[in-house]
């Protein structure tokens, strides 16, 4: 098994190559809108969600050919979410991945349309998957809609903007929707790429893994927003405080937050460690907790 950084790079390259095709003029046209979509999606990001889709598919005996369209679809949804999240009406961030945010580079109207189109095209990519059954596509598309919708990421964004988190439990609910929902979707897409007859116990364990790494991921994000290096992060730090957002550090000290991230990570590992071949996904959980960007 390669080191986790090499595995992440390999999966990212594979996903990036496939995304390059889906965002070519053949599928996306040759307009400033298509350019904005490519700008927002290509050449940056860790492709964690794509990695999860690919490796959960492998874990349950599926092929890369089956998982890759789903991996592209989830990365396109993630890219759309970042485009909209950076806009002035949301988090109002001028930088993303070390370069101007999409709305800074292409204007707010084009950025809005780029995000809308990335979300829409993600479903087209998933539906085109030639290496899985129609039932697997149905399961995947339903999961994508749920993960991105009112009870998933978009709903979490609403709660984030509404600033309605009076308690830590409410903050966890927000984070499990805003960040965790797409991570959970990515994992499940990999499972559905491997089987169209899912097992309820397996799904429960995947949920537990995804929720654990999702919450740990957000905790580390909150810590990096305070303690991170702008040059490494590729975006400004201190934006949560500037925007008056409640984060894990509203309720816990940095040391307490780090300990909670460790507990979430261990719970995620415990959820899947008994599946043969799960070592890499367990290593990913540890890697995400220690990340600096």
Please indicate, yes or no, if residue 257 is contained in any of the structural domains: yes
**Residue-number span of the structural domain to which 8 is assigned:** 4-288
Please indicate, yes or no, if residue 293 is contained in any of the structural domains: no
Q: How far is CA 27 from the centre of its chain?
A: 23
Q: What is the pTM of this model?
A: 0.93
Please indicate, yes or no, if residue 165 is contained in any of the structural domains: yes
Please indicate, yes or no, if residue 234 is contained in any of the structural domains: yes
Please indicate, yes or no, if residue 96 is contained in any of the structural domains: yes
What pLDDT is attached to residue 100?
Answer: 94
Please indicate, yes or no, if residue 124 is contained in any of the structural domains: yes
| CATH number of residue 119's parent domain | 1.10.600.10
What pLDDT is attached to residue 226?
Answer: 83
d(CA 67, CA 47): 14
- Tens of pLDDT, residue by residue, the chain (293 residues): 568 999 999 999 999 999 999 999 999 999 999 999 999 999 878 899 999 999 999 999 999 999 999 999 999 999 999 999 999 999 899 999 889 999 999 999 999 999 999 999 999 999 999 999 999 999 999 999 999 999 999 999 998 888 778 899 999 999 999 999 999 999 999 999 999 999 999 999 999 999 999 999 999 989 988 875 555 555 555 566 556 678 899 899 999 999 999 999 999 999 999 999 999 999 999 999 988 77
Helix (H), strand (E) at residue 95: strand 95-96
Please indicate, yes or no, if residue 66 is contained in any of the structural domains: yes
Per-residue CA distances from 115 to 76, 81, 110, 161 (Å): 9, 7, 9, 18
In degrees and rounded to multiples of 5, residue 64 shows phi and psi of -65, -35
What is the domain count for the chain? 1
Tokens of residue 288, six digits: 């995400």
Residues whose CB is less than 8 angstroms from the CB of residue 130 and which lie 6 or more positions away in sequence, other chains included: none
Nearest to 142 by CA among 80, 101, 214, 198: 198
């Amino acid at each position: 098994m390669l080191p986790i950084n090499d595995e992440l790079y390999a999966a990212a390259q594979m996903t990036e190559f496939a995304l390059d095709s889906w965002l070519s003029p053949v599928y996306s046209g040759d307009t400033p809108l298509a350019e904005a979509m490519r700008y927002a999606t290509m050449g940056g990001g860790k492709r964690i969600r794509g990695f999860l889709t690919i490796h959960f598919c492998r874990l349950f005996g599926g092929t890369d050919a089956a998982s890759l369209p789903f991996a592209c679809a989830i990365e396109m949804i993630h890219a759309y979410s970042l485009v909209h999240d950076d806009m002035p009406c949301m988090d109002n961030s001028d930088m993303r991945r070390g370069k101007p945010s999409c709305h800074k580079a292409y204007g707010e109207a084009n950025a809005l349309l780029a995000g809308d189109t990335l979300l829409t095209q993600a479903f087209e990519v998933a539906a085109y998957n030639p290496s899985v059954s129609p039932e697997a596509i149905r399961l995947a598309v339903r999961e994508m809609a749920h993960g991105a919708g009112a009870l998933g990421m978009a709903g979490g964004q609403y709660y984030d903007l509404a600033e309605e988190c009076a308690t830590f439990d409410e903050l966890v609910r927000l984070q499990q929707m805003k960040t965790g929902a797409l991570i959970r979707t990515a994992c499940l897409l990999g499972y559905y790429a491997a089987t169209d007859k899912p097992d309820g116990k397996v799904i429960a364990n995947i949920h537990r893994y995804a929720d654990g790494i999702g919450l740990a991921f957000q905790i580390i994000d909150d810590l990096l927003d305070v303690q991170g290096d702008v040059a490494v992060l590729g975006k400004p730090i201190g934006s949560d405080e500037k925007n008056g957002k409640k984060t894990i550090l509203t309720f816990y000290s940095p040391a307490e937050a780090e300990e909670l991230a460790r507990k979430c990570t261990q719970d995620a590992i415990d959820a899947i460690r008994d599946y043969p071949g799960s070592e890499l996904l367990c290593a990913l959980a540890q890697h995400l907790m220690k990340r600096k960007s």
